Structures are given as C-alpha cells and as structure tokens.
C-alpha cells in the first residue's frame, strides 16, 4: 500500500479526536453514523457529476477514465503533476471547499472535516482522471479546501435567517446557494430552505456579528522596475505589479475576543479583468489563541494561524498553504487612535513559485515547502483615516522543478483618508521583489515598485 493511501486512514481516525466541537450537539450512535456516511456519499456523487461533466460536456481528455486507467492510478506511485497554476493553486482548493461544506453541513468540526476533504481528493485522483494521482493536488485540495470552506461556511451563516420570510427569505436562500452551493443544496433537500424555525447552532446572534467588509479600486500612477538576468523584452509585463485592480477586504471577528477555531479570520480577494479574474486571494484564520493582556485600552495575544496565499498575474505567480505562530497587539489612545501590530512566522507545507527555467506543457512554476514571515502594522482613527503596512516574505525550496530556492516579497503601504459617509481616498505603494537562486541556472532578481491611487467604500 502506498504511503499516500495510508494518510486517508490516519485522517479518518484523527477525526474522532479532532479539536473544535463547538458546533456539535449530542447525537445518538445512529445519527453519528449517518453524519459520516451521508457526506461521504455526497462527496462521491459530487465527484461523479464533475467527472461526467468533464467527459461529456467539456470533452476533456483527462476525464476519459476506464478500468485500465483506475488500475494504473492505484498500482503506480504518485507524482507531481503539470497542470496550470490557476487549476492547481485555486481550482483544487475551491473543489476541496465543496467536500468540506458537505462535512461541515453535518455538524463536523473544522478539524473533523479535514478527513472528508482528503477522502474526496484521493477518490478524485484515483478514479476520476486518467492522469496519475498528484501529491500536490492532495495537499492543496485538503488544506486550501478546508480553509476556504470554513470561511464560506461562516459567511453563509451570516446570510441565513430561518425566521425570515417572503422576498427577504428568497433573497437570502439564493445568496446562500450562490456562495455555498453544497449547503444550499442540503438545505433544499432537508426542507430548511422553506421552513421557518429558530436560528439554532449559529455562532453569532443575527444582526450583531463582528463582520467588516471594504471594497476598493485602484489606478496605477507610477512604476519602477529593476531586473537582473532577464532581458528587458521579457520583462515588459512586469511593469504592473502582481496585484489586482479591485479588492474586497473582509474582517471576521476580533482576534482578542475569539474563543474557538476560526472565530477570527481575514480574507482579501483581488479581482481584475485583464488576465485572470481572480488575481489575489489571501486568507488568515485563527486556530488557537492565548491572551497575554486584555484590558479596555490594551490587548496582546499569541496564536497559531493557518494561511492561504494565491497571487497570479502576467508578472509573477506565487501560492502557499502554511501554518504560523503569531504575536499580536493593539493599543487604543485617549483620542481613540488605534495602534495595531501582528508578527507571524511559520512553515509552508507546499508553495508554488513561477520560474523561467521549468517549462513543461502548462507548468511554468516550481513546487516545494518552505518558510514565511508576515508583518501587519496600522494606525487608525475611526472616521478619520489610517496608515497601514502589510509585508509578506516567502521562501520556497524546490522539490519539483528547477532546483534551487525562491525568495519572494510582496507587500504594500497604504495611506487612506475617510471622506463623506463610507467613502475614502488614498494612495498605496506596492512593493514586490523576487530572487531566484538556482543550482543549474543563472540567478534571477526582479524588483518592481508601484504607486497607486485608491478609492474605497466600507460596505459593512
């Protein structure tokens, strides 16, 4: 038996001892069995529908499965696949979020839902493609899928109101189905879509959830580019930094008041229409926390976070599934100025970084583990404005690709002034650098700094 196959059995056993049962209620043995069998059955059905769609609607070559392809997948070792960056780094996590939602819908905790995501990924790798099972797909689907799935689950909680009726109820249910299709489908099957009942099991009371949502759009004003060992003609696309034009920033909860897994998380989504629609996705979710100091004016804590980072553009591509240890602090002055800082360091389970030296079909990026640093600092006064610094440094050591180490820095400095009502105006300095140190190729350095004008609007 291959060691990757053993992983799923270990994970299934782990689910019985998983953390975070805050959403679970007392169940009989029969209901526990149903809550395990039902999501597994739905995962198999979901994979079957997607496979049939790929085969008969998309006419995809990889979907032409047979008993021979299944036997080949089971009997041969796993590989690093050559699919494109978007498919592997955001497509698979989104697919994994479907599996996660099916498990979460049956009252499994965050960690308890991990085995179901891994099961769905492995079943897909073994049975639903003619391509050999890929270890990178298993990792990104499971880690990224669980994290994005929990965020989607929490946000759908904010929409659901079982006490509502009429047009409001219809709008809410359609919104839930759009955001979280698996949850919307299960609500339809169980009759919860139409039944008027109490909002039992929701983490926060309706109308009082700690949720903040900001939308911003930016315009490139100035670029500064330096490159080494790349011909100028090859770096024309680098004249715009790897950030999208339109951004959604969502803050869920308060890190110092959070008690359970994912009671606090941050989500950034960058959208653009020149290349890929989804240009950036960055998420940080709290797994564990211990307060050091908690008063009305001063807060400090340590915590363990899970992170998901995804950046793609014509410039450069980088993605990482990681875990880190963080120190965070916040001080509020008498004049209501808020000073916040967060410092996080940890390890990258699997990262991806584009390279000029590893080009194989659609694959133009390296894969491997590594480490990272994250620093967030801000000074804010409500209804006045804020200054913030957000810096990320990734180190990725290649396991599959051009042998070497990639060092990538992505960050920004923002200055924003609140205007009338919810609008704000500001300027941002985008900072991007990349250094590639290779064993068999010339080293590469790229530095790209950019100034952007920003218009923002606080939706919530």
Residue ranges and CATH numbers for the domains of the chain are 3-190 (no CATH), 211-458 (2.40.160)
Q: Residues 83, 363: contact at Cβ < 8 Å?
A: yes
Q: Indicate the pairing of strand 423-438 with strand 404-418.
A: antiparallel
Distance (Å, rounded) from C-alpha 256 to C-alpha 252? Answer: 12
Closest CA to 455 of 416, 420, 421, 429: 416
Closest CA to 88 of 364, 326, 343, 359: 364
Distance (Å, rounded) from C-alpha 332 to C-alpha 357? Answer: 50
Distance (Å, rounded) from C-alpha 225 to C-alpha 312? Answer: 18
Distance (Å, rounded) from C-alpha 294 to C-alpha 301? Answer: 8
Distance (Å, rounded) from C-alpha 152 to C-alpha 252? Answer: 12
Eight-state DSSP code of residue 240:
S
Give pLDDT, residue 109. 92
Give pLDDT, residue 18. 41
SS3 content of the chain, % helix, strand, coil (to 5): 35, 40, 30
Number of helices (H) and strands (E), helices first, in the chain?
Answer: 9, 12
CA atoms within 13 A of residue 337's CA, in its CB half-sphere: 7
Per-block average pLDDT, block size 10, for the chain (460 residues)?
45 41 46 86 94 91 91 93 90 96 93 95 94 94 96 93 90 94 92 81 52 84 69 45 76 92 93 78 96 89 97 82 97 92 97 80 84 96 92 95 92 91 90 89 86 88
Burial label, 296 (beta-carbon count in 10 A; 0-12, 13-18, 19+): exposed
Distance (Å, rounded) from C-alpha 176 to C-alpha 59? Answer: 30
Burial label, 281 (beta-carbon count in 10 A; 0-12, 13-18, 19+): buried
Q: Residues 420, 385: contact at Cβ < 8 Å?
A: no
Q: Record the tokens describing residue 341, joined without a space.
A: 């800082």
First vs last Cα of the chain: how many Å apart? 51
Residue 113, H or E segment: helix 110-127
Distance (Å, rounded) from C-alpha 187 to C-alpha 177? Answer: 9
Give pLDDT, residue 312. 82
Q: Indicate the pairing of strand 385-397 with strand 318-332.
A: unpaired
Give pLDDT, residue 168. 92
Closest CA to 429 of 408, 407, 410: 410
Eight-state DSSP code of residue 50:
H
Give pLDDT, residue 243. 58
Give pLDDT, residue 11. 45
Distance (Å, rounded) from C-alpha 71 to C-alpha 329? Answer: 54
Distance (Å, rounded) from C-alpha 44 to C-alpha 449? Answer: 47
Packing angle of the helix pair 110-127, 29-52 (nearest 10 deg): 40
Q: Which residues pair with 351 in a beta bridge?
A: 320, 368
**SS3 label, residue 284:** strand
């Amino acid at each position: 038996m291959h060691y990757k196959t053993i992983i799923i059995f270990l994970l299934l056993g782990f689910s019985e001892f998983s953390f975070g049962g805050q959403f679970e209620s007392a169940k009989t043995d029969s209901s526990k069995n149903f809550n395990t069998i039902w999501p597994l059955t739905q995962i198999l059905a979901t994979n079957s529908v997607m496979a049939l769609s790929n085969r008969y609607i998309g006419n995809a070559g990889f979907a032409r499965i047979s008993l021979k392809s299944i036997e080949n997948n089971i009997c041969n070792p796993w590989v690093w696949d050559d699919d494109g960056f978007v498919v592997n780094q955001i497509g698979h996590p989104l697919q994994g979020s479907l599996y996660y939602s099916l498990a979460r819908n049956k009252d499994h905790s965050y960690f308890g839902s991990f085995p179901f995501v891994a099961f769905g990924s492995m079943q897909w790798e073994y049975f639903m493609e003619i391509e050999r099972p890929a270890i990178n797909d298993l990792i990104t689907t499971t880690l990224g899928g669980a994290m994005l799935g929990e965020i989607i689950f929490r946000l759908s909680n904010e929409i659901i109101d079982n006490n509502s009726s009429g047009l409001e109820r219809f709008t809410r249910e359609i919104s839930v189905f759009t955001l979280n299709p698996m949850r919307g489908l299960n609500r339809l099957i169980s009759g919860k879509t139409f039944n008027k009942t109490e909002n039992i099991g929701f983490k926060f009371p309706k109308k009082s959830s700690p949720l903040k949502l900001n939308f911003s759009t930016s315009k490139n004003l100035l670029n500064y580019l330096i490159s080494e060992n790349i011909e100028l003609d090859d770096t024309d696309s680098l004249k715009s930094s790897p950030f999208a034009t339109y951004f959604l920033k969502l803050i869920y909860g308060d890190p110092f008041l959070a008690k359970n897994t994912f009671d606090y998380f941050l989500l950034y989504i960058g959208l653009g229409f020149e290349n890929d629609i989804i240009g950036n996705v960055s998420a940080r979710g709290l797994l564990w926390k211990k307060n050091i100091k908690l008063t009305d004016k001063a807060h400090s804590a340590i915590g363990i976070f899970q992170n998901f980072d995804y950046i793609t553009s014509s410039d450069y591509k980088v993605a990482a599934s990681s875990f880190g240890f963080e120190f965070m602090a916040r001080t509020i002055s008498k004049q209501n100025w808020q000073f916040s800082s967060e410092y996080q360091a940890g390890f990258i389970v699997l990262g991806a970084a584009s390279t000029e030296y590893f080009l194989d079909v659609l694959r133009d990026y390296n894969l491997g583990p590594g480490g990272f640093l994250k620093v967030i600092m801000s000074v804010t006064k409500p209804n006045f404005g804020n200054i913030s610094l957000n810096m990320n440094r990734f180190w990725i050591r290649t396991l599959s690709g051009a042998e070497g180490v990639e060092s990538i820095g992505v960050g920004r400095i923002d200055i924003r002034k609140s205007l009338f009502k919810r609008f704000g105006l500001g300027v941002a300095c985008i900072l991007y650098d990349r250094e590639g140190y290779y064993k068999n190729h010339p080293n590469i350095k790229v530095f790209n700094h950019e100034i952007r004008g920003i218009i923002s609007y606080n939706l919530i």
